[in-house]
């Protein structure tokens, strides 16, 4: 007998007797692990380099505080949207997702603005690694955030098509996981910078 290449068939083996997770969610977690390792590597590189001397001192731009606040609020909005979805309050889902999206874009804008704060201090991407590191942290995190925003956009389109409700939570759940992760990642980077500055 030929088995159709249908994913559901392939993934599930209903008679199995041990615990298993949704493979997509699980893969997302593993992906988060790789992203975390990337930033762990960069932040340890920062420490090693700093310990090495020849380090430039400058002020962390004020804008980073605001962007941190923005991303924390966006995480709350995301959570609210998710809770609304699991209770089938579709209107709230739409509002929640859209506000998350807007706050996310605002965060990106604020991060960009923080670069202006660096430039004002004569700290450029090209120059002493102390400054370059900050650009790399914010830039790379920003890139991940762009992917998060795309994910949010997909979810909001589905929200408007009424495709997100308590029976179909997986997508918004994965989106929420990713978004919270990006928030936590930023907080980690920010606290790290505050402490090692």
Site residues, other proteins (CB under 8 A): 1-18, 20-24, 26-27, 30-31, 33-35, 37-38, 40-42, 44-45, 48-49, 52, 54-56, 125-130, 132-133, 136, 140
Nearest approach in angstroms of CB 19 to other proteins is 9
Closest separation in Å from C-beta 185 to other proteins = 13
Angle at 74 between CA 180 and CA 196, to 5 degrees: 65
Roughly what angle, to the nearest 10 degrees, separates helices 63-86 and 90-120? 170
Torsion of CA 66, 191, 137, 65, to 10 degrees: 10
C-alpha–C-alpha distance, residues 78 and 61, integer Å:
27
Of the pair 27, 116, the CB lying nearest other proteins is at 27
Residue 39 CA from chain centroid, whole number = 12
In the complex, minimum distance from the CB of residue 52 to other proteins, in angstroms, rounded to a whole number: 5
When the beta carbons of 20 and 197 are compared against other proteins, the nearer one is: 20
| 13 or 91: CB nearest other proteins | 13
Q: How far is the CB of 7 from other proteins (least distance, A)?
A: 7
**DSSP code of residue 191:** H
Comparison of 10 and 157: residue with beta carbon closer to other proteins? 10
Contact call for residues 130 and 58 (beta carbons, < 8 A): yes
State the minimum distance, in angstroms, from the CB of residue 143 to other proteins: 11
C-alpha span between 28 and 172 (Å, rounded)? 13
CB of 69 to other proteins, least distance (A): 28
Of 26 and 109, nearer to other proteins (C-beta) is 26
Q: What is the DSSP annotation of 137-165?
A: HHHHHHHHHHHHHHHHHHHHHHHHTT--S
- Pick between residue 105 and residue 136 the one whose CB is nearest to other proteins: 136
């Amino acid at each position: 007998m030929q088995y159709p290449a249908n994913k559901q068939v392939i993934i599930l083996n209903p008679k199995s007797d041990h615990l298993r997770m949704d493979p997509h969610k699980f893969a997302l977690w593993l992906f988060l692990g790789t992203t975390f390792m990337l930033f762990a590597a960069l932040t340890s590189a920062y420490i090693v380099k700093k310990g090495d001397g020849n380090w430039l001192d400058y002020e962390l731009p004020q804008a980073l505080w605001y962007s941190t606040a923005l991303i924390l609020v966006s995480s709350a909005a995301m959570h609210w949207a998710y809770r609304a979805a699991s209770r089938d309050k579709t209107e709230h889902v739409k509002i929640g997702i859209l506000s998350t999206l807007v706050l996310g874009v605002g965060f990106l804008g604020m991060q960009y603005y923080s670069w202006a704060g660096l430039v004002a201090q004569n700290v450029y991407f090209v120059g002493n690694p102390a400054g370059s590191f900050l650009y790399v942290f914010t830039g790379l995190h920003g890139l991940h955030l762009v992917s998060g925003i795309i994910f949010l956009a997909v979810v909001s389109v589905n929200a408007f098509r009424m495709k997100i409700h308590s029976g179909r939570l997986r997508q918004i759940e994965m989106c929420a996981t990713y978004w919270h992760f990006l928030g936590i990642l930023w907080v980690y980077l920010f606290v790290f910078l505050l402490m090692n500055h």
